Amino acid sequence: MKRIMIKIAYDGTNYSGWQTGDKKNGIEDILNAKISKLTNENISIIGTSRTDSGVHANGNIAVFDTNSDIKPDKYSYAINNLLPLDISILESKEVPLDFHPRKAKTIKTYVYKIHNSKIRNPLKEHFAHHVYYDIDIDKMILASNYLIGVHNFKSFINPESQIIQYANEHNIINDDITTREIYSIDIRKKDDLIEIKIIGNGFLYHMVRIICGTLLKIGMSMWVPDYIKEIMDKQDRKYAGFTLPAKGLTLESIEFVN
């Protein structure tokens, strides 16, 4: 028995997210079926990050156990021969059998893309959120500085999140469940494309999309930059900005740290 780690890229447009659902149209459903067919085993992969419906990835990580004699570094080629064109294994290698990607400490990088143009471009439609209003990225950069570091991000989580519902049902008042650390936020504009790159140790349900929606309102001069401090202090989702569409978000990379 050996454990294989795979690095996966996918266009999430046609899928119900990473995790399996009623329609069995999650990325993990596709991978389980194709790898099972390849190895003639009942494969059940373990993913590191559960991206939402419509979210893309350039470096999600998963592992699976197998008795197949395929060389670890050849799985990427073998699996790709069976996959649809919007999913690809970028890399494969063997890892220790006791390695569990969800229990390991990680650094995750997400990128949100905004197509800032008066005219919509269909070639950018699947991978960026179109905004035709003027956006001041200097205001967004100023506001983003308040988010760097260790904070309780309760204002930036969807209230329907499982951890919020569990905490409410069990009367749990614990800031740790919504506390995360953001290492950096980099906001750049090239031509008509704005990219917001957020790096942190983990993210809550819809957290990145809500943060980006909040920064967007500030960039559109609907709020002043330091209003983001009040949003964080309120610890209430209703004070934060839009939940931007999933299509603009890409899980860029996952790095495992000791």
- Catalytic residue numbers read 52
d(CA 180, CA 200): 8
- Rounded to 10 degrees, what is the CA torsion of 226, 232, 237, 243? 50
**187, 171, 188, 181: which is closest to 204 by C-alpha?**
181
Query: 10 Å Cβ neighbour count for 145?
Result: 12
Name the token pair of 175. Answer: 């800031």
* Element at 227 (helix H, strand E): helix 227-234
Name the token pair of 53. Answer: 């419906």
Buried b (16+ CB within 10 A) or exposed e, 116-127: beeeeeeebeeb
Contact 243/157 with Cβ under 8 angstroms? no
Contact 90/34 with Cβ under 8 angstroms? no
